[in-house]
Amino acid sequence: MKKIVLKGALLITVALLMTSCYSLTFTVGQGARTGVEVVERNHYLIGGLAPIKLADPKAMAGGAKDYTVTVEHTILDGLLAALTGGIYTPTTVKVRK
């Protein structure tokens, strides 16, 4: 019985550690031109189900017509989510003008 519990705990640990960070990138207009980058965070509760504060990529671009937006779940975001047990789950938004 002890071996089964140990194997189950090991399996769960490996499954949690093997999850990867994700990244979503989209381009508006011709894409980034100047290389200026603005970074903000989206703040969610309960694994991303309830948004608290969302970054506005259009406002972050500051009126630029051409920019690239990347939404990522970075290692720091994953660490914060793990420390809070998934109650608080941020994502990082980067806008390159």
Q: Which of 19-28, 41-50, 68-77 has the lowest mean pLDDT?
A: 19-28
Distance between CA atoms of residues 51 and 47, nearest Å: 10
The whole-chain average pLDDT of the chain stands at: 88
Model pLDDT for residues 68-87, shown as the tens digit of each residue:
999 998 888 888 988 998 89
Torsion sign across C-alpha atoms 90, 91, 95, 96: positive
Write down the pTM of the prediction: 0.74
Q: What are the E-state strand segments in the chain?
A: 23-28, 37-45, 50-53, 67-72, 91-96
